[in-house]
């Protein structure tokens, strides 16, 4: 059950009926297969938007759970894809069909106004509920945003806090460690949004 010390907006929301998952995009690849555009975005070391396969495992949260960037859905074999931005296909084009659950909200990099923080808090809690449902059903699950650092990371950490009883600090530390273990990219700073981190710790 949700921890009683968390704010109302971070309580696990009521269950919603998920829309049916779309068919996978043609030409979808396993992790490691990459187009040149997706692999580098024109840089020697890709930034977090473009490194491939672009996702990290979170085994202490669940062996079924992965967190990643906008290319991760096209470079892994997932049953559930929770998207905070539109995912991109192997050719770099936007591909909404890779998403099973869209939950779009902004990453203000810690500069969110009060209204934006409230939206983020509710979105993070809803995302955590989606993760919990998928993991309980034994589904291989990806949560992704653009870089795979803040929005997706906050949802995965909220799952650990709300449904596994972890402290926010411990959850954030695990996500950071796994991000750095499985990925290497320019601008790497997982869970660097101070607003999202405060939401988790309230």
Task: Give me the percent of the chain exceeding a pLDDT of 70.
Answer: 79
What does pTM read for this prediction?
Answer: 0.81
pLDDT tens digit sequence for 158-173: 999 999 999 999 999 9
Cα distance between residue 53 and residue 164, in whole Å:
27
What is the mean pLDDT of the segment spanning 17-42?
A: 39
pLDDT at 187 over 60: yes
pLDDT at 74 over 90: yes
For residue 83, the cross-strand partners are 102, 144
Cα distance between residue 113 and residue 98, in whole Å:
31
Higher pLDDT, 106 or 42: 106
pLDDT at 30 over 60: no
Higher pLDDT, 70 or 33: 70
Cα distance between residue 111 and residue 58, in whole Å:
27
Q: Are 164 and 191 in contact (CB under 8 A)?
A: no
pLDDT tens digit sequence for 45-55: 889 999 999 99
pLDDT at 9 over 90: no
Cα distance between residue 11 and residue 128, in whole Å:
10
Confidence label for 3 from pLDDT (cuts 50, 70 and 90): very low
What is the mean pLDDT of the segment spanning 10-21?
A: 45
């Amino acid at each position: 059950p949700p921890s009683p010390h968390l704010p109302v907006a971070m309580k696990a929301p009521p269950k919603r009926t998920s829309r049916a998952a779309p068919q996978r995009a043609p030409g979808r690849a396993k992790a490691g297969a990459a187009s040149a555009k997706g692999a580098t975005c024109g840089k020697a070391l890709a930034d977090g938007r473009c490194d491939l396969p672009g996702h990290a495992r979170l085994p202490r949260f669940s062996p079924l759970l992965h967190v990643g960037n906008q290319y991760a859905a096209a470079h892994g074999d997932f049953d559930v894809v929770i998207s905070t931005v539109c995912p991109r296909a192997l050719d770099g084009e936007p591909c909404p069909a890779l998403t099973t659950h869209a939950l779009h909200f902004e990453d203000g990099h810690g500069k969110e106004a009060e209204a934006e923080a409230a939206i983020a808090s509710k979105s993070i809690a809803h995302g955590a509920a989606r993760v919990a449902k998928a993991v309980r059903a034994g589904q291989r699950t990806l949560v992704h945003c653009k870089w795979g650092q803040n929005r997706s990371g906050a949802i995965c950490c909220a799952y650990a806090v709300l449904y596994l009883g972890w402290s926010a600090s411990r959850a954030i530390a695990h996500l950071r460690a796994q991000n750095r273990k499985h990925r290497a990219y320019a601008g790497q700073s997982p869970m660097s949004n101070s607003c999202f981190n405060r939401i988790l710790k309230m």
